[in-house]
Amino acid sequence: MTEVEATRGEEGAESSEPLPIIAIVGRPNAGKSTLFNRLTRSQRALVDAEPGVTRDRNFAEGEHDGRRFVVVDTGGLDLRSESDIALGIRAQSEAAIEEADAVIFLLDGREGTSPADREVLDLVRRSRKPFRVAVNKLDLPQHDAAAADFFRLGIDGALPISAAHGRGIGELLDEILAAVERPRGALTPRGGGALAVAIVGRPNVGKSSLLNRIVGFDRSIVAPIAGTTRDPVDTSFSVDGHDYVLVDTAGIRRRPKVEMHLERGSVLRALRSLERAQVALVVVDAAEGMADQDARLAGYAWEKGRAMVLVLNKCDQLGPRRFEAQLEGELRRQYPFLDAVPMIFTSALDGRGVQTILPMVDFVAANHRRTLPTSQLNQLLQNATDTTAPPSVKGRRPNFKYAVQTGVCPPSLVLFCSHPDLVPASYTRFLVNRLRGAFELRGTPVRITYRAGRFHGAPPTSSPPAARRGSGMRSKQGGKVPSRPKRARKQRG
């Protein structure tokens, strides 16, 4: 996902209610990652014929029939193995089941039943979560009879599907989403009241120590063992009349070296915290640099439309200050969306830089709920299109008329133009960069929706660019919009 979510449909306010979480579990090589990719319409999960490719949990959003949800892919369960990898996958899968709102138990229709299937089914049943059984790899209707073999497990029903070909997926989603009445643990809506800030990051990067530094007392258990923060811990406090709620979440491991159930559910708890928060404090170990898991978590928060501050902690281990500027430059080059995200170097050990966190949180939160003056917005649009016109595609060039802001948290705009489907993502990035420069919109995503035709709601507070004389906007015929001729005043006799 790029920095800008550029859609070309109806815009709508994002729901503050947490999305339902659906976990996919099953034996190795049942096709869980293929199903994950199918449900999320992505290729985020690695698919291979070799069993056990998926070890860490993978997560992404999906949508079906207008309803959004989060899908969690897990590693193949081998409950009889005592290897470190098998135990780690089991802990990850149990955590996914525990935090999920519903479970898809996936079976391999080509291999048939096995005692291992019954063991996994017992694990799912003990969770008391709603679940549906799907028998995968039944590519054709004549293969559906193979699903009957699994009724010996004592299940009420089994849906024949083919994750590779998309067969039966719609019916599976209909049933699993119908089983989710409402996500558990409904969270406080964003906006209004105290400013909710989620502190997220991998284990042992100093999240709890930072929280204690900010608040001024030991609110969280702090130890050098990764994962010592067992549960999300909410801390409410006020500074200079500003009310905050900080959420310290359990960390996210890079590899499944889980020896205890100390950090069960850490990934999904972080996601739930982000659902609740307006601002994400993504904490990274400055000495180690930004790992893939850090980037994935930051990218998820950005995609969800959260304001963000990147906190590079443990800078006392980094060396001279010049290394800080070098690391910041490398991160902005490697991860383009971070170019709009403020970065703070801190040390929870000696307190360096901690005093700048809350002022920066206030800054990005204000940008997140910023309302842009319509007249200035349209003047910027006119200047941008005059200096750099959108590219022509097959002889057709989008002709921008005017813009209106339709939402905040994050700022959301609708640009009315001809041929909205021809506006490339590169031109959207150009417009967003102009917006950031003009309105200092750092630390927040900006969402742009293009729409054809005239605006049918309340009119903008100022005249759209095309209606002003000398605006430089073009008519549909390609010429200047002519000024209306003045009528001769009648003289009274």
Domain segments of the chain as ranges:
19-178, 195-368, 374-467
Domain at 374-467: CATH architecture: 2-Layer Sandwich (3.30)
Work out the angle at residue 330's Cα, subtended by the Cα atoms of residues 325 and 333, and round it to the nearest 5 degrees: 125
352 φ/ψ sector (left φ>0, alpha ψ -120 to 50, else beta): beta
Provide the residue count of the chain. Answer: 493
Q: What is the torsion angle, in degrees rounded to the nearest 10, for the CA atoms of residue 39, residue 41, residue 43 and residue 49? A: 40
CA distances from 247 to 186, 208, 262, 468 (A): 15, 10, 18, 49
Give pTM, 2 decimals: 0.58
**Of 235 and 174, more confident:** 174
Residue 387 CA, distance from chain mean position: 33
Of the candidates 427, 453, 419, 438, the one whose C-alpha atom is nearest the C-alpha of residue 378 is: 438
The kind and range of the H/E element at 449 are: strand 447-451
- Angle, alpha carbons 408-294-278 (nearest 5°): 20
Mean of all residue pLDDT scores within the chain: 76
- The per-residue pLDDT for range 357-385, each reduced to its tens digit, is 999 999 999 999 999 999 999 999 999 99
Reported as a single tens digit per residue, the pLDDT across 331-358 is: 999 988 899 999 999 998 888 899 999 9
The more confident residue out of 314 and 234 is 314
Contacts of 238 (CB under 8 A, 6+ apart): 244
**Do the domains 19-178 and 195-368 sit in the same CATH topology, yes or no?**
yes
pLDDT tens-place string over residues 435-468: 999 999 999 999 999 998 654 444 454 433 333 3
pLDDT of residue 207: 82
- The pair of three-digit structure tokens given for residue 294, joined into one six-digit string: 């850090």
CATH numeric code, 19-178: 3.40.50.300
Q: How far is CA 217 from the centre of its chain?
A: 32
Distance of CA 421 to the CA centre of its chain: 24
- In tens, the pLDDT along 390-402 reads 998 888 888 898 8
Q: Which of 127, 97, 86 is nearest to 22 (CA)?
A: 97
Quickly name the fold that domain 195-368 has. Rossmann fold (3.40.50)
User: 174 pLDDT exceeds 90?
Assistant: yes
